[in-house]
Amino acid sequence: MAAEIKTKPTQRKPNLIGRIEDENHDVVPMLVLTPSEDGVITVSEDRSVRIWLKRETGQYWPSVCHFLTAPCSSMCFSPSTKQLFIGLQSGSVEEYRVAEDYNSIYHQRKYDAHQKQVTSVVFCVEKEILVTCAKDRWLTWYWTQNGQKMGAHQVASVPICLQFDVRSNYVFCGLSNGEIPILQIDKNDCKSINSLKGHSGAVNTLFWDSAAQILYSGSSDKSIIMWDIGSKKGTAFELQGHESKVMSIHYSASTQQLVSMSYDGSLVIWNMDIKRQETPVWEEKDQCQKCKTPFFWNFRQMWNEKTVGLRQHHCRKCGTAVCAKCSTKRTTIPFMGFEFEVRVCDACFDSIPESDKAPTATFHELKHNVVAATPDWKKLCLATSGSDRVVKIWDMSQVIHK
């Protein structure tokens, strides 16, 4: 059962400043805002790549409409080099060069990377490395200077999203089974570094903050996890604020805010400039750790005490196994990532002061099922695409700190 969000509504909200709705195009699985022009690059399941530029009328019109050989499933754009990489459902990746005025694109190369749909592509402009993954469970990486394949690696489950660290050559790969393997790639070598396990659903989106060495992951289990890679302490902070699967996350280092969006159209803006506490590991016991009443599978104690066993619950603050009678209270625990009320034991409820219950996130509605999103922090705007085949551009200046 989904928890009800109890935060107070806010008057400051994203303002819709642009809308792209074309009955001729299909769902847009990936999009990016153009940095120098007021425009959006989209790839669609109708096999098209379009560049929409804003005209004097305030409307967006396609300056480029180019059709590929198969439906588009992923995209990566390098603003500095104007290189555009498009992953297709056929398994190949097409490379284009975008003109300076964004009025034309030029085909550069085709990569026969996979046998099934490409799910994610990332490009490292500093090292000229293109990394791709697909539903065939393979990761491949290429040197874009000549299109040569450098290596490949098969993972345990279908990879959905990728992030790349230029300093360490680490590849972070979000899988459909909830794991995030960390791989270090080289010319013809791939070394497994670690595998992050914390999600119970598919990892749909990743964001790598290279400066702070922090990885953010969003999952179909409705949660976000902040993995502190750089501290080497193994800490992971959980954020709970969505009622549907998390589809897109982005972090603004200048404002120390995390922006996350879920499939139900909710937008959550998290203040990350606070001291957070890790969520505890849930303890598994045969009896309530508070009143010692047996749980329903503890037949021996039930027989000895001639009592009926109870269902096991867990306190979200301390992780102890408790019965319903010993955890009757609900509260928010924002510093642990719980922005809505969750179950806690009575002792923990009494230990949390009111000052620690102040929200650290704001909640907004985008009014369409979000499939993908991309921000422009300099312009303080956000572009979202939905399952309704509509692209929306939002002014975020009211909700993102200057």
Query: What is the band of 68 on the pLDDT scale with cuts at 50, 70, 90?
Result: very high
* Burial class of residue 192 in the structure, from the number of CB atoms within 10 Å of its CB (0-12 exposed, 13-18 middle, 19+ buried): exposed
Q: Tell whether the model's pLDDT for residue 89 goes beyond 70.
A: yes
Mean pLDDT (whole number) for 221-245:
89
Whole-angstrom distance, CA of residue 50 vs CA of residue 131: 23
Q: Compare 50 and 57 and report the one with higher pLDDT.
A: 50
* Burial class of residue 8 in the structure, from the number of CB atoms within 10 Å of its CB (0-12 exposed, 13-18 middle, 19+ buried): exposed
Query: What is the band of 293 on the pLDDT scale with cuts at 50, 70, 90?
Result: confident
Query: What is the band of 302 on the pLDDT scale with cuts at 50, 70, 90?
Result: confident
Query: Which residues, 6 or more positions from 295, have their beta carbon under 8 angstroms from its beta carbon?
Result: 285, 286, 287, 288, 309, 310, 311, 312, 321, 323
Instruction: Write down the pLDDT at residue 360.
Output: 83
Strands annotated E in 112-235 = 118-124, 129-134, 138-143, 148-154, 159-165, 170-175, 179-185, 190-197, 203-209, 214-219, 223-228
Instruction: Write down the pLDDT at residue 5.
Output: 44
Query: What is the band of 10 on the pLDDT scale with cuts at 50, 70, 90?
Result: very low
Percent of the chain with pLDDT over 70: 97
Radius of gyration of the chain, Cα coordinates, nearest whole angstrom: 23
Whole-angstrom distance, CA of residue 373 vs CA of residue 216: 15
Query: What is the band of 2 on the pLDDT scale with cuts at 50, 70, 90?
Result: very low
Range with lowest mean pLDDT among 113-122, 147-156, 323-332, 368-377: 323-332
Per the prediction, the chain carries an average pLDDT of 91
Query: What is the band of 338 on the pLDDT scale with cuts at 50, 70, 90?
Result: confident
Whole-angstrom distance, CA of residue 236 vs CA of residue 214: 10
Q: Tell whether the model's pLDDT for residue 252 goes beyond 70.
A: yes
Could you tell me if 203 and 178 are in contact, meaning their C-beta atoms sit under 8 angstroms apart? yes
Strand order of the β-sheet with 72-78 is 72-78, 83-88, 93-98, 105-111
